Chain A
């Protein structure tokens, strides 16, 4: 097959083996999925066996991803195409960085699920097929700048997620949450596809770089202005749904509360951050096209739009978390708020005066990496409390500091880190975003800085409620029994948060490396190529 591809005319000059290697992390996940399908036939449905297979798959994928990271460090590569702009997929520092984070996180979630499942657990294969499927979708979301692929990737990520939320068929709440999530997702997908079709109609291309140039032209000239704006808004809606940004966040608390805790943890980090990276990439490509002075002014409303969306999202999330009594629901609102903080980083590089694009991008990536540890730790503790007490109500946390100090202390660390207090990594995450915003030194930047800082203040209150419940209240409940492995997992998260604060420099350097060439290569090259007569693009598309 490789031979045949190489011989055929369209693929001349493309090193197919190399390109397959570049996408091998995701391909490995697909293979793992197939292995999980085969497992029940060959070795049985034991949860532990399936878990082991999945973990092996994740490790293999991770190793490959590390090797690919070395390969693309110097610049992004557009998949199976000689034209950087026209490949359906692309691999660059950003996408591989996210895939690495995703794989680590998936390892954590798998481990959590593995510990929480009983020996009689029958549905392990189904669960992991869904988990792997959504992971592949998320991996693809960040590795494309093609509208069709974006739509496909989002759906690949979403469909398994709907099923995962309602995975426990006997749980009525889960089923209801799943249905809500599904309908809401369907509406958003429809809106987004409508937007994509409009954009295709306007520009005749599905490549974001080309679409962006058409959009900028019409924005600058006023030709097709309204329809362009509507189309962009529709596209943004679809992504905002995945980010759960205001006003597309309504599904989030319901779905998070109804789902099993491992699924909630998975969605709160993986799904949101994939969508954030996707939006960041779109914004990046879009802004790269804007070089003409007259078009720069067009970016200001976009920056304000994302900025206001971010500000409302985090304010609303934080305020709504105030009165929650379910830990899962509280963390759901907290995850909405955090999506807001991360959106602020995107507002940085959509900004017309911004020459801090990379700063914003690396702040976002740092935040995602830290956020992963904070949420994995917090959800891990909640999960273990739920397993033992059967409830995620805050009352179950009463006196946890005495009942299970080895869970309570990491929980306090994770919560303090979510607030953004030093000496934990959450502080670093917020710090870089705020610095990037402050450097804009204009009304939007300061508006967002103030909003974020005020929100930190507000968020302290409800995170403290859990801390107070754990440390300052005690109603003499018996000590908590929990799996040792789970205790180790949450403590590793807590130590990681501590270490990422103390050794901020390696973290910063790494995230800068992983955001380095995406600005130089992906954008600059695409734009240069697009400037040339666009005949090969047409041929590839058809």
Chain B
């Protein structure tokens, strides 16, 4: 690998989208106007080309030389042992992520060229939209390319900001503004843990550079020379995990993602399905040295992943908003990736991340195309039988659905099957949940397909339904190819896994527990290997047939189920009441505390004044002005405050 080439590629990948964003945002309103997509399209396009070149460099590098560090400049040389640079880290994991991120982004930008237009005219904020997209690509690439935790955190926060801006893009819609705020705040809860984790890393190891930190974890050594305890390692891992749960919408921080669908559909496809939400998985994979060394953290990851996968899939069963179904399926699929990492199969998780990016972007863009055709309506109760109306969208959407359902031959099948396979080896329950979720996934996905596309044609009144423009169809077709073909990189020769091997060889692979069940993986028989494929393949078909029976053959069944299981249905419809619980348990108390603190400064003082002045008033003394009273109140509060501190000091001691 030539460092110079890599450096050039890295800089292009980072700076071209940024330059595009600045051009679109700065000159868009006056110069580019309806051509504002061009700077971002060119910027992201060059980033994609650079990512391909970079990938080729890494791919052709000899074994053992697939990792490169490219320092840009020295950021902090705090003390003798704690210096770190602003540097890029390039390895197979980075290369795969970069190609995925820039590739999907490019397609989404192309798609948005038509999507963000109304009857050929650009929507309000057209240039702003593209500027945010460019900014997002820059931020995401910073997150992926960064060679230390600081750049990771920087990218992490920046993608969060872009996501916030894009969810709230239609800010005059109150629901969009509320969703943006929710996403931002829920993510901050996760980032609280993430920031704390990074701080712990710095305090423990005296550096934030990946390589240095991971080396010290391997050697189990702190910067002070003391040994690294399991407790501290687990604390670091769990703090980082909190951040991953926020960004990747895992339980219990998943609540923001379904609401994030208020943003424009291309944004849902790019940020809230294909790329940003996978940042959590990427981070855990990147920090494999830390996570894999902590069995506790790994167990937590696996359990969170499995629970989320099932939990979100059950909610998706009853949703009628197309984008919401897809949002819950995203949460569920991210749960699979967590599960994969949790059972030490990080390469399978990254593989699923890769294939998922294609078919989920395809599905969201397809849903966007439906929405475009239906004049902004996305509730599936309002339309149906669209297969003739929008044939291209229908065709590509079905391909995406087959991939998501895990039908053999499509991308989702291979990667999901691998994860279930590893989960089964780790614990039968994890694998069982994986299989059950696979069944549910196929079922709800095709419920959606049948509701939207089969049966008699129903179109909301006053809507002129039409197939989307060429730019949109182009993106859908390219993604369809990916949704079919991406999976074949991981079968047979296992090209994908071999490429990733050096990244995980010393982390997840090395720490994989080698007790009976897992050990058998290496020496499995033909039936062990392919039996599961048959099972999960048939589950997919069962799900699809179930959906077919319920929504096409016997359409009275869903109503009956709804009526007979009212309680369950309501619970699922209301997403297990998690939002309500958070509102009552966290938001309201926080508001109350805020009011209390203001009250302490206003009402409490007034109350004190009243109390203090009661006696003088009674005695006929003068306490006429608020001023005099207020000052007494302040003085008294001062004394009270000092007492509180003194008492607390004694209590804490």
Contact = CB atoms under 8 A, between A and B. Distances in A.
Interface in A494-520: 504-505, 508
A387 interface: no
Contact of A438 (B172, B199, B597, B601): B199
A449 B197 CA distance: 12
B195 A322 contact: no
A319 B597 contact: yes
B645 A312 contact: yes
A300 B74 contact: no
Nearest to A241: B638
* Chain B: number of interface residues, binned into ranges: 35 or more
**Cβ-closest 5 pairs across A and B:** A247-B641, A322-B594, A319-B597, A438-B203, A472-B171
A505 B595 contact: no
B371 interface: no
A180 B631 contact: yes
Contacts of A176: 627
Interface string B627-653: 100110011011011101110111011
Contacts of A187: 631, 635, 638
A179 B627 contact: yes
B213 to A, nearest CB: 15
Nearest to B635: A187
A233 interface: yes
Given A237-B642, A435-B203, 7 more contacts: A183-B631, A184-B631, A247-B640, A322-B594, A423-B158, A441-B203, A473-B171
Nearest to B595: A323
Contacts of B598: 319-320, 322-324
Interface in B589-604: 590-591, 593-598, 600-601
A423 B150 CA distance: 10
Interface of B is mostly: helix
B605 A504 contact: no
A247 B185 CA distance: 30
Interface stretch (A92-100, A122-130, A196-204, A457-465): A457-465
B447 interface: no
A424 B646 CA distance: 37
B582 interface: no
30 contacts: A180-B627, A180-B634, A183-B631, A184-B634, A187-B631, A246-B641, A247-B637, A247-B644, A247-B645, A248-B638, A250-B638, A301-B650, A305-B646, A308-B648, A312-B644, A316-B597, A319-B598, A320-B594, A320-B597, A323-B594, A438-B199, A438-B203, A439-B203, A441-B203, A449-B196, A456-B195, A464-B181, A472-B171, A505-B74, A505-B75
Interface of B: 74-78, 150, 153-154, 157-158, 168, 171-172, 177, 180-181, 184-185, 188-189, 192, 195-196, 199-200, 202-203, 590-591, 593-598, 600-601, 605, 627, 630-631, 634-635, 637-638, 640-642, 644-646, 648-650, 652-653
Nearest to A253: B601
A453 B196 contact: yes
A53 interface: no
Contact of A422 (B153, B177, B591, B605): B153
Nearest to B75: A504
A540 to B, nearest CB: 34
Given A187-B635, A468-B181, A423 B154 contact: yes
A68 interface: no
Contacts of B172: 474
B150 A422 contact: yes
A460 B601 contact: no
A438 B645 contact: no
Contacts of B645: 246-247, 305, 308-309, 312
A434 interface: yes
Nearest to A440: B203
Given A320-B597, A422-B157, A305 B649 contact: yes
A248 B185 CA distance: 31
A473 B184 CA distance: 17
B101 to A, nearest CB: 20
